[in-house]
Amino acid sequence: MMQLSHAWLVDENPETRFQAGAGQTYRMVRALLRNPLAVVGLVIIIGLLVVAAFAPVLAPYSPIESNLGARLLAPSADHWMGTDELGRDIFSRIIHGARITLMIVLLVAVISAPVGLLVGTVAGYFGGWVDRVLMGLTDVFLSMPKLILALAFVAALGPGIENAVIAIAITTWPVYARIARAETLTFRNAEFISAIQMQGASHTRVIFKHIMPLCLSSTIVRVTLDMAGIILTAAGLGFLGLGAQPPLPEWGAMISSGRAFILDQWWVATMPGFAIVIVSLGFCLFGDGLRDVLDPRNRTR
């Protein structure tokens, strides 16, 4: 039977494909764990996942039900972050808001990364006019101001989380297309691709089975680095009233509702902001660490 030992994992001559893969993952994780900032980022992200998963257990109060007797209370032992204008516990709302934030980033990543990957690999693989048309389109989207574009799309589609996700995804895919195309170009003419083609593999098979997997790691790095920006944009849309609608405890919308009380009850608008900053920071730090491990060419100094 296989044994999961250090020696087995770092074996220079792996016997099976699984051993090679496991060894590579092991080395990557070790390199990542040696970077203290990346570990901080990882801890924050795991924290976000845990909080989102166990929100009903962790939150001391209901995030939705109002309690007008306890309006705008300052932070105290009962309400760690105070209460908002409807007497709802801000701490509980932030905990439940983690679910919304997580859902938004995941949905954006799941929509925009595959689209970008597909456009980029197809453009790079076929070249010629396909490349020119697809990349022309990509460049047009790349040179637009992202936030403004997202705003305009939400304005047309109507406010709401789903439309905010679509609008953000529309503005994020071009980056992944550029990256995937650049990666594809580096091995489009490689011998292993020709070998697969000569075995009679279709273009679809070559792209999906052999080119896309090789573009994955740089795309994942980029997606992780973009997460912070996606969170900020989503919060911005929520702040403007175009994202999640009340009474959903979305962090940006919470800041927006605290805006009216910013001069006297500062905690209503301030507290959700800290949550946004911490989570964005987590993705930034982890993304930086991931880039150093997966993509050493672009290492930051």
| Chain residues in the site for another protein (CB under 8 A) | 136-137, 139-141, 143-149, 151-158, 228-229, 232, 235-236, 239-242, 252, 255, 258-259, 262-264, 266, 269-270, 273, 276-277, 280-281, 284-285, 300-301
Closest approach, Cβ 97 to another protein, in A, equals: 14
**Closest CA relative to residue 153, chosen from 143, 169, 167:** 167
Nearer to another protein, 167 or 207 (CB): 167
Closest approach, Cβ 169 to another protein, in A, equals: 15
**CA gap 124, 206 in Å, rounded:** 12
| Alpha helices (H) in the chain, listed in sequence order | 6-9, 17-33, 36-53, 55-58, 90-126, 128-142, 146-157, 161-187, 191-198, 203-205, 212-239, 251-258, 267-294
**CA gap 79, 96 in Å, rounded:** 15
Nearer to another protein, 18 or 274 (CB): 274
Nearer to another protein, 12 or 264 (CB): 264
Nearer to another protein, 165 or 215 (CB): 165
Give the burial string for 192-204 (b: 16+ CB within 10 Å, else e). Answer: ebeeeeeeeeeee
Closest approach, Cβ 249 to another protein, in A, equals: 16
Nearer to another protein, 217 or 270 (CB): 270
Longest dimension (CA), the chain: 75
Nearer to another protein, 98 or 215 (CB): 98
Closest approach, Cβ 18 to another protein, in A, equals: 37
**CA gap 34, 17 in Å, rounded:** 26
φ, ψ for residue 89 (rounded to 5)? -70, 120
φ, ψ for residue 83 (rounded to 5)? -125, 160
Closest approach, Cβ 187 to another protein, in A, equals: 28
Nearer to another protein, 48 or 193 (CB): 48
**CA gap 66, 87 in Å, rounded:** 5
16 CB neighbour count, 10 Å cutoff: 9
Closest approach, Cβ 267 to another protein, in A, equals: 10
Closest approach, Cβ 274 to another protein, in A, equals: 9
**Closest CA relative to residue 248, chosen from 97, 30, 51:** 97
